[in-house]
């Protein structure tokens, strides 16, 4: 039996199953979830790529990944055709369309499920944002990603397959580096490169150091043995400190939001229930204050107004972050807000638990949402 047929069975596609559209979608979902999205180790051809996955869990990206899934789809009796995905920078990679150019399958991108090209198509929710299709007069359909308070066109779909050498990695226009790892989960995207683990979702992006020497931790995060991938590159000296960034889009203008950020009274009104601000001291370009709850110290803060936002240094029992920095980016119809925080406590060797990460995201997101709501009140 060929590696393609064995891979079909391993992916749960039974021999002789009718090539129904829903079965193609199911096959794509399982392929994206089970075959690691990472650079192959010098192998070429669908049979070799799939044989390596069956043997030791090796992954693939770019052209080999598209070729591998296309071989699976055709072996299962599905009619698929190649198309070219043209990015904003002129980069291209190959995608697949089926059936009748009504469904987009992009194995080279961390797309968890096929994307409908039939207007009006609903957005596909992913762990890193919402993917949708947009049509333009006289041009091919565009794939649009809306995430973390921003919207951007990923690429335009053109009929006809792109040449294999033009294929890119997990993101249009950027190659996957040796030792770079990805894993797409239902609500977040994991990425590891050069000693740094990045956890992204529709709201936030967490970046923490994560050593390649922790093989057990890698296997727990990415679902396959580290021995099955190229040796990862460790971080450079002075690896970045752990940070968490949370994003939001507001309909308010940047000048309005900047004025609110610079006003201590606004910050006092946004405090959690039961907290009060004491010992407020105005300084040139900022202010200092002490926050208490039932007479007990919560934290001390030193705020400095920036040309495009505000930065706050904090200390005290409930100072979860050493610094929090707001940045305001004007955009059509409003402002994109980013709140970047540096964590106060050291991160455990295997990173933060998902419960802890969600709690920290909630803390920061609550501040952004409260500020946006205050701006909407006028």
Where residue 365 sits, what CATH number does that domain have? 3.30.530.20
Range of the domain at 295: 181-376
Structural domain includes residue 246: yes
Q: Distance between CA 8 and CA 356 in Å, rounded?
A: 38
Q: What percent of the chain has pLDDT over 70?
A: 86
Structural domain includes residue 234: yes
Neighbours of 78 (CB within 10 A): 20
Structural domain includes residue 93: no
Structural domain includes residue 201: yes
* Structure-token pair, residue 331: 């955009």
* Structure-token pair, residue 158: 């053109």
* Structure-token pair, residue 164: 């294999």
Query: Tell me, what's the pLDDT at 236?
Result: 57
Quick one: how far is CA 344 from the chain centroid?
A: 24
The arithmetic mean of pLDDT across residues 368-378, rounded, is 89
Does residue 357 carry a pLDDT above 70? yes
Structural domain includes residue 137: no
- Whether the CB-CB separation of 315 and 300 falls below 8 Å is answered with yes
Structural domain includes residue 240: yes
Q: 202: which strand partners?
A: none
Structural domain includes residue 334: yes
The arithmetic mean of pLDDT across residues 65-91, rounded, is 89
In total, how many domains does the chain have? 1
Structural domain includes residue 231: yes
Query: Tell me, what's the pLDDT at 103?
Result: 85
Q: What percent of the chain has pLDDT over 90?
A: 40
Q: Read off the pLDDT of residues 6-55 as tens digits, 9 standing for 90 and up.
A: 999 999 988 878 888 889 999 999 999 888 887 766 667 899 999 988 98
Angstrom distances, CA of residue 48 to CA of 52, 95, 191: 6, 20, 25
């Amino acid at each position: 039996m060929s590696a393609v047929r064995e891979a079909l069975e391993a992916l749960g596609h039974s021999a002789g199953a009718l090539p129904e559209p829903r079965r193609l979608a199911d096959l794509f979902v399982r392929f994206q979830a089970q075959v690691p999205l990472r650079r192959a180790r010098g192998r070429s051809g669908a049979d070799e790529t799939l044989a390596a996955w069956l043997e030791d869990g090796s992954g693939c990206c770019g052209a080999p990944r598209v070729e591998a899934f296309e071989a699976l789809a055709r072996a299962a009796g599905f009619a698929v055709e190649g198309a070219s995905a043209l990015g904003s920078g002129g980069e291209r990679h190959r995608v697949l369309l089926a059936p009748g150019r009504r469904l987009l399958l992009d194995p080279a991108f961390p797309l968890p499920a096929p994307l409908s090209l039939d207007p009006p198509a609903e957005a596909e929710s992913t762990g890193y944002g919402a993917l949708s299709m947009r049509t333009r007069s006289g041009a091919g359909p565009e794939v649009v990603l809306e995430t973390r308070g921003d919207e951007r066109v990923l690429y335009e779909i053109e009929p006809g397959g792109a040449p294999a050498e033009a294929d890119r990695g997990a993101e249009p226009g950027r190659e996957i580096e040796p030792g770079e790892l990805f894993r797409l989960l239902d609500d977040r995207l994991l990425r590891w490169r050069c000693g740094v683990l990045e956890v992204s979702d529709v709201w936030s992006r967490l970046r923490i150091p994560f050593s390649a020497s922790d093989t057990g931790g890698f296997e727990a995060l990415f679902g396959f043995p580290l021995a099955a991938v190229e040796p990862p590159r460790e971080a450079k000296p002075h690896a970045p400190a752990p940070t968490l960034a949370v994003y939001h889009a507001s309909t308010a203008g940047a000048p309005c939001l900047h004025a609110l950020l610079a006003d201590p009274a606004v910050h006092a009104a946004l405090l959690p229930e039961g907290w009060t601000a004491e010992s407020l001291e105005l300084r040139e370009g900022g202010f200092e204050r002490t926050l208490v709850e039932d007479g007990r110290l919560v934290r001390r803060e030193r705020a400095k107004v920036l040309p495009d936002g505000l930065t706050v240094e904090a200390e005290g029992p409930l100072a979860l972050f050493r610094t929090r920095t707001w940045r305001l980016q004007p955009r059509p119809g409003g402002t994109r807000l980013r709140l970047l925080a540096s964590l106060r406590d050291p991160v455990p060797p295997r990173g933060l638990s998902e419960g802890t990460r969600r709690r920290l995201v909630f803390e920061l997101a609550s501040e952004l949402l409260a500020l946006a709501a205050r701006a909407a009140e006028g």
